[in-house]
Amino acid sequence: MSHIDTISVHAGYSPDAQGAVMPPIYTSSTYAQRAPGDPIGFEYARSGNPTRQAFESALAEVEGGTRAFAFASGMAAMATVLELLDHGGHVIALDDLYGGAWRLFERVRTRSAGLQISYVAPDDIEALKAAFRPDTKMVWLEVPTNPLLKIADLEAVVGLAHSHGALAVADATFSTPYLLRPLDYGFDLVVHSVTKYLNGHSDVIGGAAIVRDAELGERLGYLQNAVGGVMDPFSSFLALRGLRTLPLRMGRHSENALQLAQWLEAQPQVARVLYPGLASHPQHALAAKQFKQGFGGMLSLELASDDAGVRRFLAALRYFTLAESLGGVESLISQPFTMSHSSLPEDLRRQRGIEPTLLRVSIGIEHADDLQADLAQGLKAI
């Protein structure tokens, strides 16, 4: 089997009849048919588009799945995956989720689809065992979690899910298939916010879902077409371009993040650093077992300061832009309490360890020494 570095460059497309090495951007909304019900290739752009298909095929191969589906956003992908469940189904979600996922579960699908959601800590297998019910249809987790970078035992989670007849779904936005492929562990579905590392340049909004089983792929493909939240051709072109360099970027993200996490941990202005690559991480041994190519570009840190100190720190930074999102070539920093997780009630945020002093950092591909100097400048401002 070829290495992922090679697969990511060549997967999903070969030169077309005109010899184009990269897929053209097909903007047509509809396609000619030889006769009624006898299309030449594609029929209607919501149902399929050549540029989107090239990205989907490449992503399926990189992720080790049978089929991939590209959506208009990560939330559109998640929402369509939840359409696999019948009304009133029970879902176990490993907590410390992205705020948008919690909002979708609690503010939308509990109302519109009657879903019942139970939350369990990612590192508590006994609690996970106890959470299953006869009507449990899905287990949902993030690898690693957002924003506290917790690690779940993937083998244990998928084993429990399948022993109870439930689908196992992993949001692998933070890890990407370069670092870890949940389908290799037996997960049924992987979802991504393509906006983040897969595209990697902060210029596309997109999502994806990849399936291991062909029959599940048929079901999800039907739902994608029926619900209609598909990725547009230009975004598909850009996302495929981003996917081609994923291994190069993730290697640099991971190297930079490890260096900075180790340095931050030694700074007196920092109360704690959350990064799976640190020996101090509670699940470092499990992370080292599951992540073969590095530990990713995301870390969180808690400043030994107050809200005013946090604001001074953020204002003093030059290379770290205060912004939502993550996974681009540039370094970003955010305050989950007021930004990505603000949709959670305040008491729940604090209960889960999301305080105003917690900052989530997306380490870019700049030179690590420059990023370290920038952070040092920020810490001095506290």
Residues annotated as catalytic are 46, 98, 171, 196
Q: Where are the beta strands (DSSP E) in 309-357?
A: 321-322, 332-334
Q: Are 270 and 302 in contact (CB under 8 A)?
A: yes
Amino acid letter, residue 95: D
Q: Are 72 and 229 in contact (CB under 8 A)?
A: yes
Residues 6+ apart with CB under 8 A from 30: 43, 44, 45
- The Cβ of residue 39 has, within 10 Å, a number of other Cβ atoms equal to 16
Rounded to whole angstroms, the Cα distance separating 179 from 259 reads: 17
Pairing of strands 167-171, 136-142: parallel
Ordered DSSP codes for 59-124: HHHHHT-SEEEEESSHHHHHHHHHTTSPTT-EEEEESS--HHHHHIIIIIIHHHS--EEEEE-TT-
| Cis check: omega of the bond before 144, within 30 degrees of 0 | yes
Q: Are 13 and 25 in contact (CB under 8 A)?
A: no
Question: Helix, strand or coil for residue 183?
Answer: helix
Q: ∠ at Cα 269 (356, 354), nearest 5°?
A: 20
Over its C-alpha atoms, the chain yields an Rg (Å, rounded) of 21
Q: ∠ at Cα 289 (77, 302), nearest 5°?
A: 70
Q: Are 61 and 303 in contact (CB under 8 A)?
A: no
Tokens (6 digits) for 164: 């109870």
